[in-house]
Amino acid sequence: MVSVFCALAFWHYLKALRTFAKSSPSAVYGFLSLLMVVAVIASYSRGAVIALLLFLGMFLVAFFVRQFTLPAYPQKKLIAGVLLAAFAVFAFIGLKGLNAQETWDRMEQLFDGKDNTVVVRQTATKATFDMWRGARWLGHGAGSFKLIFPQYQQHYPSIYEFHVTVKGKKVPRRFFWENAHNDIAQTLAEFGLVGTGLIALGMLWGLVRFVRIRAWANPISITLILGLIATLIHSWGEFVFQNPAILVTWAALGIISLRWSELELPPQSR
C-alpha cells in the first residue's frame, strides 16, 4: 500500500510539472503514504519495517534519479523541497505520538543477538527444505505443510519440543507450525520444482515484458515493482503470502504495473 500511494504521488507530481499545473493530488497521496509508513512502524513487525526501509531506499533513489533527468521546470525544486519538509515533520510527529521506540528496541534485539527468533526461523527453514527434498518434483501438495512438516521438524529439537513446569514437574510440550515463516521455502515444499517452476515462469514473463516496454521509465510501474520486490524479500522471513488479501493484491499490482506502462505507450509501440 505504501508503494501504491508513492506511485500515485510520483505520477501526479511529474504530470503537474509537465502541464505546469498550479496544484495536483500528489501531496494527498504523499500524506497517505506517510500515514501507512507510520502504521507499519507502529505495528512492531521487524520484517515489515525492514521491507519498508528497503522499499523507501530504492524509491528515493529512483525519485532523485528521475529528478535529475527532468527539464529545468521553474517550480521543480521548490515543490520537492516543500513536500519533503512537510512529510518529514508529519512523520516525526506521528512516530513520536505512537511511541515508535518499541519498534526500534525490537530491531536492536534482532541485530545484537538477544532475540533467538531469527535462529528459530532459520532452523525451521532448514527443516522445510528437508521436507522439499522428500518430494522434490511434485511437492507434497498445496496446504499440506502443517500436516507433513512434523515428520521433518522432529529432527530439530529446538523447534520441536520444549518443557514447561507443572506442579513442580517438567512436562514436555511440542511446537506446532502451521506455516514455515518462509513463503519461498514453503512453496517449494508444497508445490515442488514443477509447481514452483510454473510460478517462476509467470514472473519471468512479467519481467521480460517489463523490460521490453521499458516500464522502468514509468513512475507508477517502477514504484509498484519496487514495492513488489520488497514484499517478496519480506516473504523469505515471514508467511505474508499465506494471507489471500496480500497474495491477490501483490499479483494484481504486478499486472497493473505492466498495463499502466502499456497504456501510456504510443499506439504503434503497444
- Give the pLDDT of the chain (270 residues) as one tens digit per residue: 999 999 999 898 888 877 877 778 888 898 888 888 888 877 778 888 889 888 988 988 888 787 777 665 555 565 566 656 666 665 565 555 555 555 555 555 555 555 577 888 899 999 999 999 999 999 999 999 999 999 999 999 989 988 777 777 888 888 899 999 999 999 999 999 999 999 999 999 999 999 999 998 899 999 999 999 999 999 999 999 999 999 999 999 999 999 999 988 766 555
Burial class (CB in 10 A: 0-12, 13-18, 19+), 226: buried
CA 231-234-237 angle, 5° bins: 155
Whole-angstrom distance, CA of residue 123 vs CA of residue 180: 10
Whole-angstrom distance, CA of residue 129 vs CA of residue 143: 16
DSSP secondary structure letters along 126-188: HHHHHHHHTTTTT-S-TT-HHHHHHHHHTT-GGGTEEEEEETTEEEEEE---SS-S-HHHHHH
Whole-angstrom distance, CA of residue 267 vs CA of residue 35: 38
Residue 127 has φ and ψ, to the nearest 5°, of -65, -35
Only one residue has cell 518462509, namely: 182
Only one residue has cell 520484517, namely: 47
pLDDT of residue 24: 83
Closest CA to 124 of 184, 171, 164: 184
pLDDT of residue 99: 53
pLDDT of residue 218: 92
Q: For the chain, which residues make up each domain, given as ranges?
A: 2-111+213-269
Whole-angstrom distance, CA of residue 226 vs CA of residue 63: 12
pLDDT of residue 191: 97
pLDDT of residue 183: 97
Only one residue has cell 513536500, namely: 83
Contact by Cβ (8 Å): 28, 13:
no
Closest CA to 94 of 158, 36, 30, 162: 36
Contact by Cβ (8 Å): 218, 261:
yes
**What is the four-CA torsion angle of 224, 7, 104, 54, rounded to 10 degrees?**
40
pLDDT of residue 74: 53
Whole-angstrom distance, CA of residue 129 vs CA of residue 123: 10
Whole-angstrom distance, CA of residue 262 vs CA of residue 270: 6
Contacts of 78 (CB under 8 A, 6+ apart): none
pLDDT of residue 84: 65
pLDDT of residue 15: 85
Contact by Cβ (8 Å): 175, 150:
no
pTM equals: 0.84
